[in-house]
Structure 1
Amino acid sequence: MHAWPASEVPALPGKGRDLRIHDTATDGLVTLDPGPVARIYVCGITPYDATHMGHAATYNAFDLVQRVWLDTKRQVHYVQNVTDVDDPLLERATRDGHDWTELAERETALFREDMTALRMLPPQHYIGAVEAIPGIVPLVERLRDAGAAYELEGDVYFSVESDPHFGEVSRLDAEAMRLLSAERGGDPERPGKKNPLDPMLWMAAREGEPSWDGGSLGRGRPGWHIECVAIALDHLGMGFDVQGGGSDLAFPHHEMGASHAQALTGEHPFAKAYVHAGMVALDGAKMSKSKGNLVFVSKLRRDGVDPAAIRLALLSHHYRADWEWTDAVLREAVERVGRWRAAVSRPDGPSADALVEEIRAALADDLDAPSALAAVDRWAVLQEAEGGTDEGAPGLVSRAVDALLGVAL
């Protein structure tokens, strides 16, 4: 599966700072110190609907992570999946009378268009669950043969008790896990499971649903968590730098994925840091496909909204914060991009060297994009009020905003 085209990242003078970021597993800030190649895995979409602002906010956060790393002169190895077969996708296709593969392909294509418009840097490896199945099957067989998984009426479940580190990612108690498992795709009430929290690794073929050859597992399709584990281990290996996604993925998805990988390899941790973006609400409730309270990136673009303004609306909130999308948020972003473009359109201006360092410092401090935006605002106000004599300043500001914030002026 191919990703989307990469926008050029301008080179800036000097060198950026190492990133200090919040790690869910320790509930504290950690300073990441990758080697020459930083490794990041971000969980992708289930393509049964268009990209909404909650998706965009999540991918914006991890785009900033990449940009901070690139500014430290590192390379970035970024991997993202597409869950192109799963219950929600099949249910939506059935509801709307569409072929599920055509629905997945159409929505994945639209997602690529949205990411391109928002100048999100693409992954080096963009892998669909279906194409990953040949690599998933042997992992499930290994877990089963090692006693870390068991069969139940043809399905194969992972035993959470096989990983001594289970629970360390989300740090939740058993009751909270059980409630979230039921809410987020698990089946804690199914009779016969060794532990209610045990997640499915391989679902035996159901009538009327797609299935694939699973070797000794029989025909079926993979569970959600093992999909990402197979892709991450194949392309990044154990101990990669950041596992990213929305805060609703901490449990069960990232918790289970870590345990799968740790049981498979005997190594710990799966990822050095687990980083989670906050949720975006609309009309007082978290945006979700099931509720239908969504603001789509593609709809805003069709309505003529500048993608740079959409991105600035996202950047105006800290990535870990839960916040609400409103017309006022978008209106302020449209006004801001107008002010910034007017400021950098002049032939000269106040020196911008200190501004570049302010942006770098803000982003290195747990991706504090709102502070970075405030710094650019101050330079733009000074430019409007007093101007300056530095002929290179407007160009440097434009390049810095593009390179570090992903906003093209």
Structure 2
Amino acid sequence: MTVRIYNTLTNRKEEFVPRNSGKVEMYVCGPTTYNLIHLGNARPLIVFDTVRRYFQYLGLEVKYIQNFTDIDDKIINRAAEEGMDALALAEKYIKEYYKDAGALGVRPADIHPKVSDHMPEIIEMIQKIIDNGYGYEKDGDVYFSVGIFTGYGKLSGRKLEDMQAGARIDVDERKKHPMDFALWKAAKPGEPWWESPWGMGRPGWHIECSAMANKYLGMGFDIHGGGFDLVFPHHENEIAQAEAFAGCGPFARYWMHNGFITVNEEKMSKSLGNFFTVREILDKYDPEVVRFYIVSTHYRSPLDFDDTKLEMNKKSLSRLHNALDNIAALKNSVSFGDSDIPLDAEITAFDEAVGKAEQDFSEAMDDDFNTALAVASLFDLAREANAFGKKLDTYAGRKLPLPVKEVLEKAQGSFIRLGQVLGLFEPDSVHSQNESDLSDKLMDLIIDIRQEARSRKDWAMADAIRDKLKETGIILEDTPQGVRWKLK
């Protein structure tokens, strides 16, 4: 099935056809680095990391660019408050970004360009925009003439005359049009600055992404992504700048935007003060739970935050882990070989269930990356795996046909591959760390001690061990194949 993407530029789902066969080029707007990232910032990071993972799952080569805005009014103001150099402050929070993004399973981009490293490209683009008649200089500032660019508003659907009517009366009189925006800002005392043909100054916010995306991907690249709040003015202005610079379009061919995370149905943002940093949330929840919470909702849908929902997702994720753990336990604790146990029908049915889960997963992701339905396919697979395991339990102590092992291995591999597209079941996740070799050996020792207590009929000691483990979040299960343990 062909991947279909909801393109903000056309307001409809479209078949995705990459510019270069077998390759995908993506540019995603990254954070403004003046504080720790909050959950609203984290959503696009997880969304587009998942998009990239799915393309790679399909066998496509992905070139993924995500910038850091390290020059901005917010950074300058925060640096002044803390008595720091603005670039040093930005670098501090870039390092913190990597910690939080890495914890959430967000893989580093192929390139993480910073504004401060791309002044030559930015200045060159601004000069070409002026030369092409779309920009003008006034007192060291450079503005983009939106009235001259005939395609202005095509991404957001806004009309220039409506925007002009809604503009404030006290507009900057130096502008030719109230909606003209800054490409370059003349330096103010105490601000970082760079030399330019228009004097000392720094770039406006919007020009950075146009310049960096053009440098690393060129005009007409495949996918530009970001949060829905960036549609206007940021992405609208990016298009205008890039296409005025190049003299042609499109700048990007598919535009993807994720919905907001809200708190009490109000957008989560630093300016409103209703945000929770990723660091704060990870103090209470496993990073995999946070990621699961985000991918369990379609990326374009709003997502309202509260602890209750995270708790629910924690329990739901544990169900998937338990099913995966049960498959591994069965595969490793049962003997296989020549057997007269009649399981052909059950093996065939489970094998078909695995195949159906894979098909359902792919159909969901092909349809505008519907991770909510993709997660549902994992639960279907978990249910089928548990039912198959219960059937095998009835033959405890007997050798099972070799095809049972083969189908269990297939299910285990499918579970992990599909889950990892969503950023789940990673080898370095907290859950996986708890199942490291050392943990396994320690648990084997504890289970052996408990089994010795039971053999002596010291039920009080056996029950105490079980209860203490439960208090720490570890559940012991007595099964026909022996004792198993899992995380609560």
TM over 0.5: same fold?
Answer: yes
Match in the other structure for 2:296: 316
Q: What letter is aligned with 1:115?
A: A
Which residue pairs with 2:38 in the alignment? 52
- 2:460 maps to none
CA distance in 1, matches of 2:262, 2:268: 5
1:202 equivalent among 184, 192, 195: 184
Match of 1:223 in 2: 204
User: Could you tell me the percent identity over the aligned residues?
Assistant: 34
Contact 2:186-2:199 at 8 Å conserved across structures: yes
Q: 1:69 to 1:177 in 2, by over 3 A?
A: farther
Q: In structure 2, what is the Cα distance between the partners aligned to 1:379 and 1:177? A: 51
The 3-state SS of whatever aligns with 2:298 is coil
Distance 1:180 1:101 in 2: 36
TM superposition shift of 1:188: 8.3
Looking at secondary structure, tell me which structure has more helix per residue.
2
Partner residue, 1:12: none
* Contact 1:49/1:289 (8 A) holds in 2: no
Candidates 128, 135, 141, aligned match of 2:127: 141
Q: Any idea what SS the aligned residue of 2:362 has?
A: helix
Equivalent residues of 2:295, 2:371 under 8 A apart = yes
Partners of 1:136 and 1:222 within 8 A in 2: yes
Contact 2:378 2:415 in 1 (8 A): no
For 1:52 and 1:178, how far apart are their aligned partners in 2? 33
Name the SS for the 1:162 alignment partner: coil
Deviates more, 1:26-35 or 1:391-400: 391-400
Residue 371 of structure 2 is aligned with which of 369, 372, 392? 369
Secondary structure of the corresponding residue to residue 274 of structure 1 = strand
Structure 1, unpaired ranges of 5+? 1-16
What's 1:4 paired with?
none
The answer on 1:267 being equivalent to 2:248 is: yes
Q: Distance in 1 between matches of 2:227 and 2:185?
A: 25
Q: Which runs of 5+ in 2 are unaligned?
A: 332-346, 392-403, 427-488
Q: Which residue of 2 aligns with 1:94?
A: 80
- Counterpart of 2:100, as a letter, is D
Q: What does 1:3-402 align with in structure 2 at a 5 Å threshold?
A: 17-34=1-18, 35-174=21-160, 177=163, 189-214=171-196, 216-303=197-284, 305-346=285-326, 347=330, 350-351=350-351, 352-387=354-389, 389=404, 390-402=407-419
Secondary structure in structure 2 of the residue aligned to 1:95: helix
Find the aligned partners of 1:289 and 1:97 in 2 and give their Cα distance: 21
Please give the alpha-carbon distance, in whole angstroms, between the structure 2 residues aligned to 1:232 and 1:356.
35
The corresponding residue for 1:10 is none
Residues 240-268 of structure 1: per-residue CA shift (max 9 Å, x gap): 11110000111111111111111111121
Task: Output the CA distance in 1 between the equivalents of 2:190 and 2:304.
Answer: 39
Q: Once the two structures are superposed, what CA deviation does each residue of 1:39-61 show, in whole Å capped at 9, x if it has no partner? A: 11001100111111111111222
Amino acid in structure 1 at the alignment position of 2:141: D
Q: Which moved more, 1:342-351 or 1:196-205?
A: 342-351
Render the CA deviation track for 1:351-407: whole Å, top value 9, x for unaligned: 322212211110110111111111111222233344364221442233223432111
* Structure 2 CA distance for aligned equivalents of residues 178 and 244 of structure 1: 27
Q: Match of 2:307, as an amino acid?
A: D
Deviation of 1:96 (Å): 3.6
User: Conserved in 1, the CA contact under 8 Å of 2:26 and 2:221?
Assistant: yes
Deviations 1:209-256 (A, max 9, x none): 110111x12110001111001101100001111110000111111111
- Computed over aligned residues only, the root mean square deviation of the Cα atoms, in angstroms, reads 2.1
SS in structure 2 at match of 1:392: helix
Contact 1:180 1:251 in 2 (8 A): no
Give the superposition deviation at 1:68: 2.2
Distance 1:63 1:98, change over 3 A: same
Relative contact order, CA 8 A, sep 6+: which one is greater? 1
* Secondary structure at 2:219 match in 1: coil
The DSSP-based 3-state class of the residue aligned with 1:29 is: strand
Q: Which amino acid aligns with 1:377?
A: F
The answer to whether the 8 A contact 2:3-2:365 is kept is yes
What residue in structure 1 maps to residue 425 of structure 2? Answer: 408
CA distance in 2, matches of 1:155, 1:99: 23
Query: CA contact under 8 A between 2:193 and 2:202: conserved in structure 1?
Result: yes
Relative to 1, partners in 2 of residues 1:219 and 1:334: Cα closer, same or farther, differing over 3 Å? same
Q: Distance in 1 between matches of 2:165 and 2:62?
A: 36
Secondary structure at the aligned position of 1:217 is classed as coil
- When the two structures are superposed, what TM-score results if normalisation uses the length of structure 1? 0.89
Q: Distance in 2 between matches of 1:246 and 1:196?
A: 25
Is the CA contact (8 Å cut-off) linking 2:137 and 2:198 kept in structure 1?
A: no
Q: Which amino acid in 1 is paired with 2:81?
A: R
- Conserved? CA contact 2:86–2:192, under 8 Å: no
What is the rounded CA distance, in whole Å, between the counterparts of 2:252 and 2:78 in structure 1?
A: 33
Offset, 1:174: 3.1
TM-score of the superposition, structure 2-length normalised?
0.75
C-alpha contact 1:312 1:407 (8 A) present in aligned 2: yes
| Cα distance in 2, alignment partners of residues 158 and 274 from structure 1 | 22
Gap change, CA 1:165 and 1:156, over 3 Å in 2: same
Distance 1:407 1:175, change over 3 A: farther
One-letter code aligned to 1:332: M
CA distance in 1, matches of 2:386, 2:412: 16
Aligned letter for 1:368?
N
